[in-house]
Structure 1
Amino acid sequence: MDEQILFQEKQYLGRDWTWISVRLILALFCFVAYYINWEHVVSQQLFFIVGVGILLVSIIMLYMVSYRTTVTKTQCYFKWSMDNEFSENRLKLYQAYRKEEILQFLF
């Protein structure tokens, strides 16, 4: 990628507010069940371990990059990190308008 990068965006795996709230509600359920369950020590410990595990996985997922989009003058790169190797798909950008034509619309 010798070209100048015009735009770069990173989408993270765990930063969707809907799924963050689902994971936090599941962890909260585990901690409430841990607090209420006084008779069965084994299941009480299991609820605590699962609740802590949900929180740890949620924190790790906040920093995992799901895919990265990079736009240069002539190409657009989509890189997914879900594959075994960091794959890369390229799309050619069609330059339908020249720079002068775009500036004409802006000014």
Structure 2
Amino acid sequence: MKEKALFVEKQFLGLNRNWLLTRLVLAIFCFVIYYFDADQNNADILLVVGISILIISIILTFIIHYKTLVFENCVVLDGFWTTRRIKIDFGSVQSVEKAQYSNFLLNNPVYNLHKKGTIRFYTRGKYAAKLTDKDGLIYMIGSQQPDELVRVIKEQLKN
């Protein structure tokens, strides 16, 4: 893979809006309880927990959940640490389109989730690139730039 990527997108784990909001609400709850119970010795634990939640949130914003790379003949999805690198050859891709990732309001980040004939990759956002291969398998690749991703893949499928 020494060739230059036509499209590169990094999805960061800590930027998922739902879980970021959850962590911040928990931290605020710890700080409020600490403020009102400051005269007790056990309240210091809540201050430490609140600060720890904020530090973990900051660290998570720098951790890459997965990276989407589009080359001339394939799409490569590279996850973090021990995950497998997924390579989808354009020779087996039948169609590509922009689709809504899910109807649910809250979606968990997933990487290589096999469910009902669909393989899902998602960190955040509403839309995904939906790739269908010749075997009928569907790849849903969540993206912050789904229009650009679909456009680049369609260009490569024409070639």
> TM tier, shorter chain?
0.7 to 0.9
Report the TM-score, using the length of structure 2 for normalisation. Answer: 0.55
Give CA-to-partner distance per residue, 1:14-56, whole Å, 9 cap, x none.
1012221111110000000101113421x21100000000000
Q: Does 1:90 align with 2:87?
A: yes
8 A contact 1:37–1:44 mirrored in 2: yes
Q: 2:16 corresponds to which residue?
A: 16
Q: Which residue of 2 aligns with 1:81?
A: 80
Question: Structure 2: which amino acid aligns with 1:92?
Answer: D
User: What letter matches 1:76 in structure 2?
Assistant: V
Aligned residue pair count: 95
Q: Is the 8 A contact 1:77 1:90 kept in 2?
A: yes
Using the TM superposition, give the Cα deviation of residue 96 of structure 1 relative to its aligned residue in structure 2, in angstroms: 4.5
SS in 2 for 1:60: helix
Partner residue of 2:34?
A: 34
Structure 2 stretches lacking a partner, 5+ long: 92-155
Letter in 2 for 1:66: H
Comparing both chains, which one has the higher relative contact order based on Cα–Cα distances under 8 Å and sequence gaps of 6 or more?
A: 1
- Larger Rg belongs to: 1
Please state which structure has a larger fraction of its residues in helix.
1
Matching residue's letter, 1:31: F
Identity of aligned residues (%): 33
Give runs of ≥4 in structure 1 deviating > 2 Å: 94-98
Measure, in 2, the Cα distance between the counterparts of 1:31 and 1:22.
Answer: 14
Q: Separation in 2 of the partners of 1:87 and 1:74?
A: 19
Aligned counterpart, 2:99: none
Q: Give the structure 2 partner of residue 102 of structure 1.
A: none
**Alpha carbon RMSD of aligned pairs, Å?**
1.6
Give the distance between the partners of 2:157 and 2:46, measured in 1 at CA.
Answer: 59
AA partner of residue 90 (structure 2): L
Matches of 1:96 and 1:32 in 2, distance apart? 55
Structure 1 unaligned segments of length 5 or more: list them. Answer: 99-107
On the 8 A contact 1:67/1:80 being kept in 2, the answer is yes
| Most deviating of 28-37 and 14-23 | 14-23
- Helix, strand or coil: the match of 1:87? coil
